[in-house]
Structure 1
Amino acid sequence: MDFDAIILAGGRSSRLGGSPKSALMFDGATLLERSLMAAAGARHTVVVGPEPGVLPGGVLTTREDPPFAGPAAGIAAGLAALRETDPADMLLVLACDMPRVDDAVNALLDALPGAAADGVMASSADGRRQPLAGFYSTAALERAVQEAAARNALVHGSVFALLASLDVQAVVVPAGSTDDVDTWDDAAALGVAVREQ
């Protein structure tokens, strides 16, 4: 299936003392590298955030405006960058702080055929949804971003609010596949560490 990908890597990591989540290590790769691997089937991929370092050829980079404006603004910036390509009909949106997200992406891909009109979003077995692990209709997401921008609701806006008008199906993904790193306790529990210098 044809899709593009936006990887969100623009947070302040304030609960990690400013250590960029994207550069933390899991199983021999940075969290950004893990996200890029999870999105490997994408036609075009854009990383939204500060200077990400060396990226695979063809991966685009951009920044949310203003910097650190949150994931809704990051999605808008990613969509703007993808407009310069020939955008696919579907878009994978991923936060870069989920070390095992490849399992979630595979489950979402499997569920896409015959899913709700505007895509699928990861959910835990107990119903906790993760909007930053989902496949969404590019056209529907573009409309939602335009509507949010008209209401000045992108900067520090809620991603759930951004997606509220979309017909999206929640898909239960493997346990632990959307566990994210917000604190050093999270990092320790998930086996995520700072890269050795």
Structure 2
Amino acid sequence: MAHIQEGVISGSLAAYGLVLSGALSVVTGTKFKMNNVPKVAMVTAAVFCASLLHFPLMGTSVHFTFVGLAGILLGPAAFLSVAVAVFFQMLLFQHGGVSTLGVNAFNIGMAALAGYYIFRLRYLFPKWRHSVTTFAFLAGFVAAIIMVFLLSATLLLTGYPFASVVVIFLSHTPVMLGEGLVTGFLAVALQKNKGASLLHD
């Protein structure tokens, strides 16, 4: 339930989300390099496909997003990648609404950016051999937490009861751990197969 459907939030909140996501798209777009188009397209497709697999849990629906993974692979451009994926999910499968597109892009895209900056913390431990694996796991795990937190904050501002937010957090706990493990394992695989250059600096 990372996507907020049409009519769930107020018009003013939807407008704020559109302005914020638009501004961040412009800012992160300045970091985009044309020679990275193939990698950005690949990651965008992965984020798009991951969100299509829904699992019912605790009265809600959960799914992977791999936003932390997008962050460690693309850096700031991950926000644009996620925004494009969210747009096509809305357009093709009605995951989220037209009016909530900005809020959804902001909530999920900010999580991707957080994953990137968390992964950069590995440079604080240059001699630690497990720094890449550890911070890749944390990037995936914490990015998922931030995504759910922003979703929960949005719902609370809309007037949803606190109990519903608790359910959302609890139901997404397996997703948070899964996102961290997938991101960490991929970082290990890239290192062992000389693909570490795919990880963003």
Using structure 1 for the length normalisation, give the TM-score: 0.30
Q: Which is helix-richer, 1 or 2?
A: 2
Report the structure, 1 or 2, having the larger strand content.
Answer: 1
